[in-house]
Amino acid sequence: MATTTRRDDGEGVEFIHEDDGSITARDIETGLARGGESKAEALSQLAEVLALEAGEGSPVTDEDLEELGLDRDDFDDKDLPEFMQ
């Protein structure tokens, strides 16, 4: 059973210690979460997700897809969250 370290003021980060030994960091305000093998790794991953949610980063271009050997037509973006479309 996973255990949680939680703050009750609606701000901050809660840590969920998963049964497999990994740790999930969840932003209490947004509900966004990411995991890792340590608190530091989970926080780093969560920071990246929060930055992307805030509009930081750059969209994937056709050149990016080509470099990765992917074709835009192979993806259906109808079910993606609005910020990813």
| pTM exceeding 0.85 | no
pLDDT on residue 70: 86
Asked if residue 85 is part of any domain, the answer here is: no
Number of domains in the chain: 1
Coil, strand or helix at 51: helix
Q: What is the pLDDT along the chain (85 residues), one digit of tens a residue?
A: 555 555 556 789 999 999 999 999 999 999 999 999 999 999 999 999 999 899 898 888 889 888 988 887 877 656 666 665 5
pLDDT on residue 33: 96
pLDDT on residue 47: 95
Asked if residue 83 is part of any domain, the answer here is: no
DSSP sequence for 12-46: SEEEEE-TTS-EEEEETTT--EEEESSHHHHHHHH
pLDDT on residue 19: 94
User: Any idea what the CATH number is for the domain that residue 38 is in?
Assistant: 3.30.160
Full residue range of the structural domain in which residue 23 is found: 3-76
